Amino acid sequence: MTAGKGFPTAATAIVGAATYGIGACPGVAAIDMAAQAALLALADAGIALSEVDALYTSAPYEALGGMELAEYLGIVPRIVDCNRTGGSAFEVYVQQAALALAAGLIDCALIAYGSNPASNPPPGVGMTRQSPWEAPYKPLAPISSYALATSRHMHLYGTTRRQLAEVAVAARGWARLNPEAAARDPLTIDDVLAARMVSDPLTVRDCCLFNDGAAAVVMVRADRAADCPRPPVRILGAAHAVTHREISSMPDLTTTGAAISGAQAFAQAGLGPAEVDLAMLYDAFTITPILFLEDLGFCPKGEGGRFVADGAIAPGGRLAVNTNGGGLSCVHPGMYGLFLLVEAVRQLRGEAGERQLPHCEIAVAHGNGGVLSSQATVILGK
C-alpha cells in the first residue's frame, strides 16, 4: 500500500442505494424509516438482508442506535458503528466500510439513516450539550457558528450576501428538476436577500431545510459488485479530518478540514478537481459549499463567492453542484451526509431523470459535521 494514501482504491463499490420518505414521513418512528430505506437499497443491490454483516448508522435520537437497528433488522453484524461526527458520519462510514471489506473482515456493508424531526419532533434533551464556554452568550445553534465563519469570509475576501444567495438559488434550480425535492417553488436572489435575518449575515433562506428523510447504501467488494443488477459505483478515495468541536476553537474560520480530507481523497483516487463532473457538497448553510469549493481545490481560497456567481453552480452552469437540490432545497433531517452519496450514485448510474448530467464519470461527495468541525470526502466513479 502506498504510504500516506492508505485506501483500497476501486476495491469496493456501492451496489445499492435508496431514499425514502423525503419531505414528510408522519406516523412512524425514525428507525422505521431507516429500516425501509435499508430494505429498498438491498433490493436495489439484489442482496438479501441476511447477507449484511456490517451495519453503519447514526440514529438521530438514540446514542446506542447501532445496536438498536441491528436488533430491529434481525441481523448479527461483525461491525456495528454509530459514530458521532454529525452529518459527515456517512462519508466516514464509506471509508471504514471500504477498509473492512478490502481487509476481508466483512463481505457486505449496509449504511442506513432515517429521521423525521418535522413530523415527529425530537424530545427536548438532545445527545449533545452546549459548551459552557459558549452557551452564556446565547449563540443560536448551529447557525450563529456558521454566521461567525461567514462574517470572517466576507471580511477577508469580499464575499457578498448576493453570492451567498446564489448558492440557495442554484440549489432551488436543481430541486425544481427533482420530483423528490421538498422545496420546489421558485426562489430568486432578491427573495433570499429580503428573507428574515436570523443570525447576520445569514437569513432563513441561507439555512438548510429541517424535514424528514431516510436513505441507505449497500457496499461490497468489486468482484461481487460485478454480479449485482445495477452498475456498480466504485469508491476511489475516502478521507476524513476533524479540526475542532466548537466554532471558538476552529483553527482558521475560513479554511476547513476539507483542505486535508479532500487532498488525501483526491490523491488516493489519482484524480483532481478538474476531473470531477459532479460535486455533492454538504450545504447546511449557503457558506458551506463556498468553503468546500475552495478547500477541495475547485477554486483558490477566497474565490468561492465569485466562483458561484452568475448561476455557475445552477443547472446549465460551469460545475454541477448538489443536483438533488441539496440540504437547502431537497432534504435535511438533521444529518444529511448519506443523501449526498445517494445522489452521486444516481447521477453516475444515469438514473437522475430530468436533472441527469449528460456526462458523469466522477463525483465527489463531501460531508460536514458539527460546526465545520468534521470533514469527510469520498471520491466515486463509474
Q: Which residues bind another protein (CB under 8 A)?
A: 132-140, 144, 147-149, 151-152, 155, 196-202, 246-249, 253
User: Which alpha helices (H) appear in the chain, and where do they start and end?
Assistant: 30-45, 65-73, 89-103, 143-157, 161-175, 189-194, 222-225, 258-269, 287-295, 304-308, 326-329, 337-349
Q: Least distance from C-beta 162 to another protein, angstroms?
A: 19
Q: Which three cell numbers stand for residue 118?
A: 418535522
155 or 318: whose CB is closer to another protein?
155
How far is the C-alpha of 21 from the C-alpha of 96, rounded, in Å?
27
Q: Least distance from C-beta 126 to another protein, angstroms?
A: 18
Task: Name the residue among 277, 288, 376 with its Cα closest to residue 317.
Answer: 277
148 or 225: whose CB is closer to another protein?
148
Task: Report strand pairing: 278-281 vs 320-321.
Answer: parallel
Q: Least distance from C-beta 144 to another protein, angstroms?
A: 5
Q: Least distance from C-beta 122 to another protein, angstroms?
A: 22
How far is the C-alpha of 289 from the C-alpha of 340, rounded, in Å?
13
Q: Least distance from C-beta 290 to another protein, angstroms?
A: 16
Q: Least distance from C-beta 137 to another protein, angstroms?
A: 5
Q: Least distance from C-beta 339 to another protein, angstroms?
A: 27
138 or 359: whose CB is closer to another protein?
138
Q: Least distance from C-beta 197 to another protein, angstroms?
A: 5
97 or 149: whose CB is closer to another protein?
149
The SS3 assignment for 286 reads coil
The helix, strand and coil proportions of the chain, stated in percent and rounded to the nearest 5, come to 40, 20, 40
CA angle 75, 81, 82 (to 5 degrees): 110
Q: Which three cell numbers stand for residue 303?
A: 474565490
Task: Name the residue among 287, 267, 248, 253 with its Cα closest to residue 377.
Answer: 267
119 or 248: whose CB is closer to another protein?
248
345 phi and psi angles, rounded to 5 deg? -60, -45
Cβ atoms of 246 and 145 within 8 Å: the answer is: yes
97 or 291: whose CB is closer to another protein?
291
Cis preceding-peptide flag for 60 (omega within 30 of 0):
no
77 or 257: whose CB is closer to another protein?
257
243 or 329: whose CB is closer to another protein?
243
